[in-house]
Structure formats: structure tokens, C-alpha cells
Amino acid sequence: MNWKSGAILVLSGPSGAGKSSLLKEIINDIGDCYFSISTTTREIRNGETDGVEYHFVSEEEFKKDIKEENFLEYALVHGNYYGTSLKAVKEALNNGKLVLFDIDVQGNTLVNNRLGDITTSVFISPPTLSELKKRLVARSTDSQEVIDRRIKMAKREIQRISEYDYLLINDDLKKAAEILRIIAKAARMKIPDNVINEFVQNWEDVE
């Protein structure tokens, strides 16, 4: 049976784990989906475009959105605010899409509290801390100070892997992408509680 209801796939993991790279690999193979573009107060990096990777806003604008309850979730990460806008996500879910989030561990907790019945979560990690360091340096998008902060953060985030449905070790990109494709397809099959209740109700009534 096919339910016209959306589902959520949360991707978390240290900055530099390969979340964006993996998403790029699978995005055209997982059906109708919507990548939630977060809003952030962090500085725009070289190569990034406003409205593509993030909506880049001032702290004042971000706080206004918090006040107006425009976020499904938000968190302070590495000293900057990051948040998921509610409106676009609601619309995508109503259209039966798989909504993809690249959010941190705090965001995953908040999303699970609100929409746990339709959420699947994946923690993406490089095989080792030294590999993470190598990738962050090779990416050459951050200063040494920012890299050090991200590594410190990564050591803390790793402690919370058990809060996720899956741990995906991104060693070989192609192999990790293949596993993520399977998880994404299964994530879409999650059925919201209200639809399950309705099904049970109708099922009992049929005679």
C-alpha cells in the first residue's frame, strides 16, 4: 500500500564527515525528496551561495524567527545559530516527499521529539579522528582555529551515536553512498502514527 505522507531522514556527523559529499552521490537516486536548506548566522564560506547551502542571516534576523516560532528546531553550534524552517518542511511533508536534514545532534533530538514517528536518523562518521583531521585540512575551507573547534566538537558528538538509528562509516565514499541509498529508501516507508491508527480502525471495521 502507498501512503501519501512524507518522511524525514536526518543526517548528522562531525563537520568534514562527508555528509554533503554523500548527499550529492545519492540525491538523484532516492525519489522525490526535498533537502531542507537551514538558516544560519555563520559567515559564508568561499564557494558558498546564499540560498543554496544555507540562508545566511544576521543574529538579529535569526532571533526574530525564533520569536515568531518559524523554526522546527534550532541550535547553537560552534558559536553560530543554525535552524530548520518549519514552513518549507511542512509543505514538503504534505506533498509526500522525503525531507533530508543535515543537522547536529541537538537538532536530531528536537526533530525526534516532534516528529519521531516519521523520522529516520543516520550518524555519519569518518573511520577515525585522524582521518577527520586530514579531510578538514584537505577541504581547506576553514582556518586552523575553526578546524580545532570542529575537532573538539566532533569528539563530543561521537559520544551520542547511540541516539541514532544507524551509524554509517564513510570510509569508501561509493560503498557508504550505496548503504545510504538503501536507508533513504527504507526511511520513506515509515508511516505516521495517525495513519497507523486510522488503518487499525478501518481494518477492525471491515467485515
Select the residue whose beta carbon is closest to ligand 5GP and give its number. 107
Residue 106 interacting with ligand ADP (CB under 6 A): no
> With contact defined as beta carbons under 8 Å apart, do 102 and 20 qualify?
yes
Which region, judged by CB under 6 A, interacts with ligand ADP, from 9-17, 47-55, 85-93, 183-191?
Answer: 9-17
Residue 20 interacting with ligand ADP (CB under 6 A): yes
Q: Which is nearer to ligand ADP, 42 or 135 (CB)?
A: 135
Longest dimension (CA), the chain: 69
Residue 203 CA, chain-centre distance (Å), reads 35
| 1, 52, 138, 206: residue in contact with ligand ADP (rule CB under 6 A) | 138
| 6, 16, 83, 107: residue in contact with ligand ADP (rule CB under 6 A) | 16
**How many residues of this chain interact with ligand ADP, rule: CB under 6 A?**
13
Residue 173 interacting with ligand ADP (CB under 6 A): yes
How far apart CA 85 and CA 140 sit, in angstroms, is 29
Q: In the chain, where do the E strands start and end?
A: 7-12, 33-35, 39-40, 55-56, 71-77, 80-85, 98-102, 119-125, 166-169
Phi, psi of 203 (to 5 degrees): -60, -40
185 binds, among ligand ADP, ligand 5GP, none (CB under 5 to 8 A by kind): none
Residue 17 interacting with ligand ADP (CB under 6 A): yes
Find the binding residues for ligand ADP in span 29-88 (CB under 6 A).
Answer: none
How far apart CA 25 and CA 27 sit, in angstroms, is 6
> With contact defined as beta carbons under 8 Å apart, do 88 and 36 qualify?
yes
Residues that bind ligand 5GP (CB under 6 A): 12, 15, 38, 42, 73, 75, 77, 82-84, 102-104, 106-107
Residue recorded with cell 586530514: 134
Q: Which residues bind ligand ADP (CB under 6 A)?
A: 13, 15-21, 135, 138-139, 170, 173
